[in-house]
Structure 1
Amino acid sequence: MNHHFDKHKPIYLQIREKIEDQILNDQLQEGDQAPSTNQLVHFYKVNHATVSKGVHQLVEEGILFKKRGIGMFVAEGAKERVIQKRKKTFVEDYVVGFVREANKLGLSDNEIIELIKQVKGRDAK
């Protein structure tokens, strides 16, 4: 886990995303116990309310669930829920603007696909 936070994004969102990332990369799997709020507070050296807000959102979305007196656990289907949520966010945050700019520039679908392949190939190296 990385202790550095992006100053342009609320910390509770970043903690939440770090937990989601652990689910996506299979560090946390369905049924696994997630780090406790207290563990996260001590690890990240942030306010308890900050951590609680991020964790609570994950519970509301059905990604984590509470076992009273035991802790937080990764819910069944959590990875798929995170993937679907992130895909939607990806489209809204990146694809919509990308397509609008491509349209302004008069790029064809084939040109757009070729540009994506070039970038993807460059990043794979």
Structure 2
Amino acid sequence: MEVKNDKPIYLQVAEIIENQILNDSLLPDERAPSTNEFSSILEINPATARKGITILVDEGILYKRRGMGMYVTEDAKSIIIKKRKQEFYEDRMPEILKEAKILEITKDELIDFIRGEEND
């Protein structure tokens, strides 16, 4: 794990956990890495790690077991997928469509490309 400069560290902490859930490295009811583990591995302030974890608690992705740490909720994966799809449609797709228009790529060409990618 490595901290990048392209986004705030606390968001990167949240994203690391989300990615572990999406790739099934962290399953429902499994303990998530602690703030101290993150601060040690990434060499960051524990408060920064806590801020990222708090975001996931607020979103219903993690829950706290008193005295035991943070654990993955049953619905965590579906919550993350829904959130990331929404971000994809709102943030990335408009840029893709704008670039396609500039390059005179038709909707049919885009659809053909997507269908071709799905079959690989």
> Could you say which TM-score interval applies, normalised by the shorter chain?
0.7 to 0.9
Q: How does 1:10-49 map to 2 (within 5 A)?
A: 10-49=8-47
> RMSD of the alignment, in Å?
1.8
Cα shift at 1:89: 1.1
Residues in 2 aligned to 1:93 and 1:40: alpha-carbon distance in whole angstroms: 28
Distance in 1 of aligned mates of 2:50 and 2:28: 21
Could you say what secondary structure the match of 2:26 adopts? coil
Structure 1 runs, 4 residues or longer, greater than 4 Å off: none
Structure 1 unaligned spans of 5+: none
Please give the secondary structure, in 1, of the residue aligned with 2:44: coil
Match of 1:60 in 2: 58
Partner of 1:114: 112
State the distance in 1 between where 2:111 and 2:66 align.
Answer: 50
Offset at residue 82 of structure 1 (A): 0.5
Distance of 2:9 and 2:114 partners within structure 1 = 31
Percent of pairs identical after alignment? 45
Partners in 2 of 1:102 and 1:39 — Cα distance?
Answer: 43
Q: Say how many residue pairs are matched.
A: 119
2:60 partner SS? coil
| Pairing 1:79-118 to 2, within 5 Å after superposition | 79-116=77-114
CA distance in 1 between partners of 2:42 and 2:103 (Å):
44
TM-score by length of 1: 0.85
The 8 Å contact of residues 3 and 42 in structure 2, kept in 1 or not, is answered as: no
Structure 2: give runs of 5+ residues left out of the alignment: none
